[in-house]
């Protein structure tokens, strides 16, 4: 699983770690368990996992979300659940069933993490009241993340507009002959804008609108943060290529290669993080 940055939320005085794996949110069961037993939180998690109802819940979650889940392995666990000598740890559960809902890999601070669905089920077992406060703080965290992403998206949209002015100035100086009509000039600007659209999005603005008749915006309004960063760079690159006198066909190939390289780098490195 690809791990993301940890976040801390405080629930009724207890610090709870929230992390991300492969675009899903995972919450520390160990931190939640400290609400019930601050000295031995691992025992709280193990006691919860001993119950037949817990095993059935975990198995159902895995069946719904994990195509690699080894469901046949739960039968002996169900038969033994609740017995005086029966124990089940998170690591044993994962090892037996290839579960993904619980993560016991080494993480900063240690402990056991579980998908938000499972974490809330565990929190209910620990304390229904605590679970409600946990949900409220988790929702607040996700709203804050959305605000950060929106602010960063707007920043990159603004940068793209600034670079667009540089781009259009280059078009005006090098591609538009003197004494042309406003319509002819606008057509040249549109052609160059579509050059970037094809290089980055693989389609012109008109093609995108035809494929998305229900959308009010345009292809650039629907762009991801990474695409906006690359678009901003491409406008500067195209302005330089125009100054060098390269034909549009040549520039399209070069811009497309630049878009592929930059998108691969951005998506692979995870360099774009939310604003602090």
Distance from the Cα of residue 160 to its chain's centroid: 22
78: CB partners within 8 A, 6+ apart: 52, 55, 56
Say how far apart CA 8 and CA 11 lie, in whole Å: 10
Contact 3, 19 (CB under 8 A): yes
Burial class (CB in 10 A: 0-12, 13-18, 19+), 66: middle
* CA nearest to 93, candidates 111, 80, 74, 68: 74
DSSP 71: G
Q: What is the pLDDT of residue 31?
A: 92
Say how far apart CA 59 and CA 74 lie, in whole Å: 7
Strand-pair partners of 15? 10
Say how far apart CA 189 and CA 176 lie, in whole Å: 9
Cut 0.85: pTM above it: no
Both structure tokens of 2: 């690809």
Q: What is the pLDDT of residue 8?
A: 86
Burial class (CB in 10 A: 0-12, 13-18, 19+), 116: middle
Q: End-to-end CA distance of the chain, in Å?
A: 25
Q: What is the pLDDT along the chain (276 residues), one digit of tens a residue?
A: 545 668 888 888 888 888 876 668 899 999 999 988 888 999 999 999 988 999 999 999 999 889 999 988 888 888 888 777 888 889 999 999 999 999 886 555 568 999 989 998 999 999 888 888 888 888 887 776 666 555 555 555 555 554 555 555 555 555 444 444 455 455 665 778 888 888 888 888 888 888 888 877 788 788 877 788 788 778 878 888 887 888 888 888 888 888 888 787 767 655 444 333
Q: What is the pLDDT of residue 62?
A: 92
Contact 212, 201 (CB under 8 A): no
């Amino acid at each position: 699983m690809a791990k993301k940055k940890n976040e801390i939320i405080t629930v009724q005085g207890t610090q709870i770690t929230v992390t991300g794996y492969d675009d899903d949110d995972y919450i520390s069961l160990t931190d939640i368990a400290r609400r019930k037993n601050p000295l031995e939180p691992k025992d709280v998690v193990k006691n919860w996992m001993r119950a037949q109802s817990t095993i059935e819940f975990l198995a159902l979650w895995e069946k719904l979300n994990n195509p690699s889940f080894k469901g046949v392995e739960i039968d002996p666990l169900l038969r033994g659940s609740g017995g005086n000598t029966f124990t089940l740890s998170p690591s044993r559960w994962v090892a037996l069933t290839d579960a993904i809902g619980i993560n016991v890999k080494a993480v900063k601070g240690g402990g056991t993490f579980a998908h938000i669905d499972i974490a809330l089920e565990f929190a209910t077992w620990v304390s229904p009241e605590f679970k409600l406060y946990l949900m409220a703080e988790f929702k607040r965290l996700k709203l804050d993340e959305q605000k950060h992403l929106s602010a960063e998206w707007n920043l990159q949209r603004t940068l793209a507009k600034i670079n667009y002015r540089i781009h259009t100035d280059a078009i005006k100086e090098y591609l538009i002959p003197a004494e042309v009509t406003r319509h002819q000039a606008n057509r040249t600007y549109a052609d160059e804008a579509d050059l970037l659209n094809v290089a980055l999005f693989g389609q012109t603005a008109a093609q995108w609108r035809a494929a998305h008749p229900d959308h009010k915006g345009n292809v650039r309004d629907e762009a991801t943060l990474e695409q906006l960063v690359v678009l901003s760079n491409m406008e500067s690159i195209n302005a330089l290529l125009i100054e060098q006198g390269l034909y549009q066909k040549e520039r399209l190939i070069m811009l497309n290669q630049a878009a592929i390289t930059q998108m691969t780098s951005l998506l692979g490195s995870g360099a774009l993080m939310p604003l602090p």
